[in-house]
Amino acid sequence: MSKNNTRKVRGVFERAKGSDVWSICYFDSLGRRHREVIGSKQEAMEAYEERKTDIRKGRSFPKNVREIGVTELINDLFQKYQNNLTSRWLHNAKDFCWELHLRPFFAHVRAAHVNTGLLNQYVDERRRQLKNGKPPSNATINRELAILRAAMNLGRKASPSKVFQMPSFPMLKESNVRKGFVRDEEYDRLARECAREGLWLRALLAVAYNYGWRRSELESLEVRQVDFKGRTIDLDPGTTKNDDGRVVVMTQEVFQLLRACARRKSPDDKVFTRGDGSKLGDFRKAWQNVCVRAGLGKVTCRRCNQEMKKSKCQKCKTPSGRYSGLILHDLRRTSCRNLRRLGISEKTIMTICGWKSRAVFDRYNIVDHSDLEQAARLLDEKRNRQPSVVTFAPPSTSRSHYVGRVT
């Protein structure tokens, strides 16, 4: 038994004789007494040292720190989202992650009692909740755990602190990384189908394909941000995901399409609007129809997994299907690959597409089979430019021509 497990520490004690659950007791700088149930003896000793360190550094905490529940931490997180006007994140975190899944399990749990074992129990329970005969994906469970982790981190950084010990969150391995690309011949087919849908989708495709911008950045683009005389597009600071502004020079294709979209519009109007001038709204259905006609996607029946050619499944008459194929965000990855193939520096690509860290750039700059073929072709060309040398000479039948030991 180690020394830490044998020595006695004042303030660390068993809840009951022979019990494996240990508690700590300490007094803050104001003389208020606090007691917490931790777990094993080693964890209790570590927690006791952390509390004493917090007290020595003057970190304050509420008197009822043991009574603070997970619900209070979640409400603080939602309030932060509301203050920052992140309505989309608030909607997803509150209505889906919290209300449907996290709340039934953690509503009556105190923040001090959240540990790795309890989180593993939540993961096991979520896996047993089947939808259409399938358990939730690892990515879905990770998004829910991320909400809880963000709430506890916010409570730990609060003044006074509401969380003193962050548990280790068992994040699951995700295997849903997309690797879709749009090749030149596929882009031509997709462009023709987008033109049939409308000028707005054809122009949006060209900007996304060339610059790899996010959907939110495309939807919020206004006419005043497009300089047709200087042939530049200027994304204002604060309108992008990382809040950084960007300026790009338009290609001839983008210039002609955006000029047609901006005709007879005021500077504050959106560049991409439907034929009647209304906002784009949710255009996923239009995008899916275009990709299906271009051969870059398909719709399968949710019940029998048969490919649907019409609005209803011809086998089981199910009215709705599940789309799989190219999505708009795949153009972001395509733009990164195309720019890199043209020899443009990584720094310039990160500036055009809006990446701050090299790690995110590496995740999008995925190599496909054509890249490997190009590498092999360049190696062959390099080899052909060198002087001719004998690469292999069949040995003579005489043993003296062999080099090395013959087995």
Q: What is the pLDDT of residues 118-174, one digit of tens each?
A: 999 999 999 999 887 788 988 899 999 999 999 999 988 887 778 877 889 988 887
Same domain for 34 and 81: no
Average pLDDT in the 19-48 region?
A: 79
The per-residue pLDDT for 199 is: 93
In a domain, 102, yes or no: yes
Same domain for 52 and 75: no
In a domain, 264, yes or no: yes
In a domain, 362, yes or no: no
252-261 and 199-211 helices, crossing angle to 10°? 140
In a domain, 324, yes or no: no
Average pLDDT in the 291-295 region?
A: 91
The residue among 30, 60, 90 that closes a domain is 60
- In total, how many domains does the chain have? 3
Same domain for 115 and 24: no
Q: What is the SS3 assignment for 318? A: coil
In a domain, 348, yes or no: no
Mean pLDDT of the chain: 81
In a domain, 49, yes or no: yes
Q: Is the CB of residue 187 less than 8 Å from the CB of residue 202?
A: no
Rounded to the nearest 5 degrees, what angle is found at the Cα of 241, between the Cα atoms of 236 and 247? 35
> Is the peptide bond prior to 160 cis by the omega test (within 30 degrees of 0)?
yes
In terms of pTM, does the model score above 0.75? Answer: no
Same domain for 292 and 255: yes
β strands within 31-108, DSSP E: 33-39
Domain that holds residue 260: 184-297
Residue 253 belongs to domain with CATH number: 1.10.443.10
The residue among 297, 320, 348 that closes a domain is 297
In sequence order, what are the beta bridge partners of 20?
Answer: none
Quick: pLDDT tens for 345-395. 888 888 888 888 777 777 776 666 667 777 788 888 877 876 655 444 555
Average pLDDT in the 313-332 region?
A: 82
Same domain for 30 and 99: no
The residue among 20, 43, 60 that closes a domain is 60
Average pLDDT in the 303-320 region?
A: 74
pLDDT band of 194, cuts 50, 70, 90: very high
Quick: pLDDT tens for 160-177. 778 877 889 988 887 766
CB atoms within 10 A of CB 164: 18
Same domain for 94 and 46: no
Same domain for 200 and 143: no
pLDDT band of 216, cuts 50, 70, 90: confident
CA separation, residue 348 to residues 196, 247, 343, 344 (Å) = 34, 11, 10, 7
Same domain for 290 and 197: yes
Same domain for 127 and 38: no
In a domain, 46, yes or no: yes
Same domain for 104 and 83: yes
Q: What is the CA radius of gyration of the chain?
A: 30
Same domain for 128 and 86: yes
**Secondary-structure percent of the chain, ordered helix, strand, coil, rounded to 5:** 50, 10, 40
Same domain for 269 and 188: yes
**Secondary structure letter of residue 92 according to DSSP:** I
In a domain, 113, yes or no: yes
On the question of pLDDT at 5 being above 70, the answer is: no
Task: Return the sign of the alpha-carbon dihedral for residues 65, 66, 69, 74.
Answer: positive
Identity of residue 372? L
